[in-house]
Amino acid sequence: MTEEEIGLLEAEEHPLDGYLRKGRIPHIWCPGCSLGSVMTVIIEAIKETDIDPKNISVISGIGCTGRTAGYLNFDSFHTTHGRAIPFAIGLGLTDPNRKIIVISGDGDLASIGGNHLIHAARRNADITVICVNNFQYGMTGGQVGPTSYKGQFQTTAPYSNLEEPFNLPELVKSCGATYIARWTALDVRRVKESFVEAINHKGFSFVEVLGACPTTYGRRNQLREGIAILESFKERAVIEHGIDTEKVAISKEGPIIVGKFVDIHDKPTLTDNLLSIQRMATASKDKGA
């Protein structure tokens, strides 16, 4: 987030008034962090969808990104570490008209919550998952994570990380996700377009936003300023819509492939399937079975 944006959030009158909870701002995020900007874009995207705010629920797990739900003035749920997705599925199934947006970090969604991520994709659950990937665990002080690339330094990878990172778009695609996009936090306009598409999408939609964490990622990896991280994203980002997600893994110095990778519309969702089962059950009950 830029100084200007922070200033906007602290101003008395603000275009986002009503969408942020009164008395919750200023937020806890560090200067130079992408999360404030991502939160603003989420609000803009929700506004653009024209969905009745009453029908929107936002669910987060634990971590810096996990704090997002609590700032947003919708029905908002800050859950336990990794468990935002199953909480969101239970909540969403109680009303097919409810739009469910999960926003959390890479560690929360792909490590401790990884099992729920892949199964939600497999079920084509009717939720939008926004994963802000900052390549490590920020809130706990910069430990290595499931998306840390080879050669990355973190507090628990003091000799550098030697493990392969998850390629998140490929992971969720192989499990059945029906909408997948990735952008850097710098590309606000395209991030917003993808958020709108993802929220309007029927079924499991996944948007990975590569975010800057200057505090615990940048300073250990020669990218001390948030802007330096974003600059590096900008230099390396290559838009490749529809590319095979096998080819979008992130490495230390290679290109960062961004774009909309998957957008499928004809696959039954978890809600569709459960409603079909209700019809089958009712028919079977009426037959006296």
Partner 1 sequence: MSDNKENTPMVNTGEYFTSGNLAVAEGSLAAGCKFFGGYPITPSSEVAEHMSIKLPQTKGHFVQFEDEIASIASILGASWGGWKSMTATSGPGYSLMLENIGLGIMTETPCVIVNVQRAGPSTGLPTLVGQQDIQQARWGSHGDYEIIALSPNSVQECFDLAITAFNLAEEFRVPVTILMDETIGHMSEKLVIPEKEKIEIVNRKKPTDEADGHLPYKADEDLIPPMAVAGEGYNVITTGLTHDERGYPALEADAQKVLLTRLLDKIRKNKDKIIRLEEYMLDDAEFVIISFGISSRAAKGAVNLAREKGLKVGYLRLITIWPFPDERIAQIAEKVKAIFIAEINSGQVTKEVQRVVKGEAEVHGLLKLGGAIHTPSEIVEEIERRLK
- Give the binding site for partner 1 (CB under 8 A): 21, 23-24, 54-55, 57, 59, 70, 73-80, 82-83, 85-98, 115-116, 119, 270, 274, 277-278, 280-282, 284-285
The region that residue 94 occupies, defined by phi over 0 for left and psi between -120 and 50 for alpha, beta otherwise, is: alpha
In terms of CB distance, is 118 or 144 closer to partner 1?
Answer: 118
Residue whose CB is less far from partner 1, 38 or 69: 69
In 3-state terms, what secondary structure has residue 48? helix
- Answer left, alpha or beta for residue 265, where phi above 0 means left and psi between -120 and 50 means alpha: alpha
Which is nearer to partner 1, 73 or 200 (by Cβ)? 73
Q: Are 141 and 156 in contact (CB under 8 A)?
A: no
CB 29 within 8 A of CB 212: no
Nearer to partner 1, 30 or 275 (CB): 275
Both tokens of 144, joined, read 């290595």
CB 209 within 8 A of CB 185: yes
Residue 92 backbone phi and psi in degrees, to 5 = -65, -35
Residue 235 CB partners (closer than 8 Å, separation 6+)? none
Which phi and psi angles does 111 have, rounded to 5°? Answer: -105, -80
Closer by beta carbon to partner 1, 24 or else 189: 24
